[in-house]
Structure 1
């Protein structure tokens, strides 16, 4: 059992240095985790006036907390080595940069630090009780539940749910960042985070096959890359600790990306990741006069539309790049062929601008079926957004190593941006692709009336 618990301990996140001149997140070590720690919850307040130096607050002392402003609680999860989460400082800074609010870091490292995951999990309701006592005092001082926002990571997501349940779902918002799965999977709603715990609950699932919770838990549940293996994370145990924690931790970094001006991650409501990858779930966005949900901090901009148009628990899918800020830019590649016989295969498309910048997408989720005079719409994903495309190249492949090489005779190919539907659509007519041979061409503007 201890071996299993130690494996689960790899849910930990990495280290972070904090200044010694101000109150900082509790730093412990592996020996403390082996011995175990008793629960001690510390609340660290940051505002724009003290963005780099925390103030210790409690239900008996609210300090500089302004009850008329939004208060965002950041609640971490299991800490099997006792080190502070590496992302804490960046998340605090980013939140304060986008809005003038109170940010309260809930430091329950003494309690979360243990090699026995079950011991940390057993303390989550106690943490919630401390937070309820604190929020009760905020309400006495004039705060509103509408202005309470909780960001819970792993076990912290379920702690947020317990607090929300205590207020009968009247908290303004809860964001769950890869809520913990072990010991919570298949639990009833009262024993975990669920959509009724706040007025709006959004969840990012990034490790559903290991440390995270698989099923939907919110009003909208985001599944980056299907919620499974995250690009850029180690694929084998030779990646060390990163192999175990990278997917789980990615939810935090995706949320952080939403706080940057240069990265807006759009997600697409869909029944499954497969349908999303096959381009069946992109019926939202400016070109359809219907907003798509945005991942992360601004996800609640979609809550009113969600209530009107979508089921109470909606899944949304999207892909990401391997590195920060993880943004992917979606295009549709519409192809009409005139081969007499059906051709099955994948398309690789490369874009180039006048400056020589290039970006490539291999559309090979499933082989496409090209039939005479039928349009096939393929969803292409690029790591880079080229504002003005000067050249396009295509490669057709059946994936066959032996056997004859085929031709794909294209009557028309059209490129249209989903992220920027206002951009002109680009076309090319009468094109022949030799299998596994890159064919480059300069596109022309499509006729405006063409669909």
Structure 2
């Protein structure tokens, strides 16, 4: 369960609305029903700013008679995935409130729990096509009533991402936008594009990956694909099967929680175009010249600043790292060092930033770094917290030298550039002498050169 503070702008609301006769709730099935299997039945639960606490089931026909549904507003469909236990997703109320905070829209929660709730995953997969056909028919009725497909946004989670893709394909890719949150991998890996979510399914497709080595789908499947922590193992998630259910679902569910956090503006998840996560961690992908005058893409609801560029580029991979807990955002710096060494040294860098008594630390150790004479080295330093203003900097280069004399390393220059907070000053220091495996602390100075 997410903490109350996560809801931010939308305030505290009641998660359990009760069983008021005038409210329609998401289907809540028991284990017996999932064990014997259920017959697919698709419901549409309508939420607007006028009824955030009380969903109204929208009829597939004569839906314009529902006074809360306004065809002049944009419409967002929220499509869940596989539900082996039959319980409602814990995040439904959260995403409804957060979407309503973005814009005055019709929010339609697609309840296909009778069809997704089945111990037989293959049955749920088969039902994705039928669910898509059902929703496609409804959207075609909307279009007949004058609704522009440009104004429709499909948000699909896991199997729901492929449901969204099938809907988009049936409508000839004319849907305005599809957002896929960790599209399901089992039964969809290695299949042709028409059998899964792909960029042709909508005018704009954005995808977030968090569990590609298990329940999620590898590869690129949108105009932009966000890879959180490389798109596989997520920090804070269990690493052994002894943790029970969480071991299986934590990485996969993280996609939803990251997206909710982005909708809530609690976290700033800036992502950087790169060929791989390894290259990103190695500091090779910290420029976003392609997107000027906009900055690097940010995960979230509003992608308008980057949309035209992404459509022109085709398919773009972007990477970012997160912390293990809310608000997930890391604070990133580009570190440029020029060394003047007589002897070649290999090692990792430990960087600490000080502000009064507060200290944050990062260890840049994704690979061994090479320090040699007159060599410029660029690093990505990411901290779990933000600390400002920075009053002192500590630096240590850790090598494998455990016996014999400590060699001295001379830095002709170190420059530390904030990546997300572009308004903050660059921090420099010139001509520093340090011993390997020993920490040196210094005050940052203004830089003589420009940011680039």
Q: TM-score, normalised by structure 2?
A: 0.92
SS state at 2:124 partner: helix
| Cα distance change on mapping 1:237 and 1:407 into 2, 3 Å | farther
Q: C-alpha distance in 2, partners of 1:361/1:127?
A: 47
Equivalences for residues 4-403 of structure 1 within 5 A? 17-21=16-20, 22-62=23-63, 63=66, 64-284=68-288, 289=293, 291-308=295-312, 310=313, 312-354=314-356, 356-399=357-400
Q: Deviations over 1:249-271 (max 9, x none)?
A: 11111111211234221111111
| Cα distance change on mapping 1:169 and 1:402 into 2, 3 Å | farther
CA contact (8 A) 1:287 1:421 kept: no
Q: C-alpha distance in 1, partners of 2:79/2:442?
A: 52
Q: Deviations over 1:202-239 (max 9, x none)?
A: 11111111101001111111111111110111111122
Q: Deviations over 1:78-122 (max 9, x none)?
A: 000111111111111111112111111001111111111001111
Q: C-alpha distance in 2, partners of 1:387/1:133?
A: 54
| Cα distance change on mapping 1:92 and 1:412 into 2, 3 Å | same
CA contact (8 A) 2:294 2:305 kept: no
The farther-off stretch of 438-447 and 395-404 is: 395-404
| Cα distance change on mapping 1:111 and 1:450 into 2, 3 Å | closer
CA contact (8 A) 2:159 2:183 kept: yes
Q: 1:449 offset after TM fit, Å?
A: 4.9
Q: What's 1:12 paired with?
A: none
| Cα distance change on mapping 1:410 and 1:287 into 2, 3 Å | farther
The farther-off stretch of 244-253 and 403-412 is: 403-412
Q: 1:285 offset after TM fit, Å?
A: 6.5
Q: 1:295 offset after TM fit, Å?
A: 1.2
CA contact (8 A) 1:333 1:413 kept: yes
Q: C-alpha distance in 2, partners of 1:288/1:405?
A: 46
Q: C-alpha distance in 1, partners of 2:403/2:214?
A: 39
Q: What's 1:447 paired with?
A: 448
Q: 1:387 offset after TM fit, Å?
A: 3.2
CA contact (8 A) 1:69 1:102 kept: yes
SS state at 2:301 partner: helix
| Cα distance change on mapping 1:201 and 1:450 into 2, 3 Å | closer
Q: C-alpha distance in 2, partners of 1:406/1:244?
A: 47
| Cα distance change on mapping 1:433 and 1:195 into 2, 3 Å | same
CA contact (8 A) 2:17 2:53 kept: no
Q: C-alpha distance in 2, partners of 1:402/1:96?
A: 62
| Cα distance change on mapping 1:449 and 1:323 into 2, 3 Å | closer
Q: Deviations over 1:391-421 (max 9, x none)?
A: 1111211245666544332222111111122
Q: 1:307 offset after TM fit, Å?
A: 2.8
SS state at 2:303 partner: helix
Determine if the alignment matches structure 1 residue 410 to structure 2 residue 414.
Answer: no
Q: Deviations over 1:409-436 (max 9, x none)?
A: 2222111111122321111223233333
The farther-off stretch of 258-267 and 33-42 is: 258-267
Contiguous gaps of at least 5 residues in structure 1: 1-15
Q: C-alpha distance in 2, partners of 1:422/1:197?
A: 39
CA contact (8 A) 1:254 1:296 kept: no
The farther-off stretch of 408-417 and 282-291 is: 282-291
Question: Over the residues paired in the alignment, what is the CA RMSD in angstroms?
Answer: 1.9
SS state at 1:53 partner: coil
SS state at 2:368 partner: strand
Contiguous gaps of at least 5 residues in structure 2: 1-14
Q: C-alpha distance in 2, partners of 1:342/1:18?
A: 66
| Cα distance change on mapping 1:300 and 1:33 into 2, 3 Å | farther
Q: C-alpha distance in 1, partners of 2:362/2:270?
A: 18
| Cα distance change on mapping 1:372 and 1:381 into 2, 3 Å | same
Q: C-alpha distance in 2, partners of 1:409/1:287?
A: 37
| Cα distance change on mapping 1:100 and 1:190 into 2, 3 Å | same
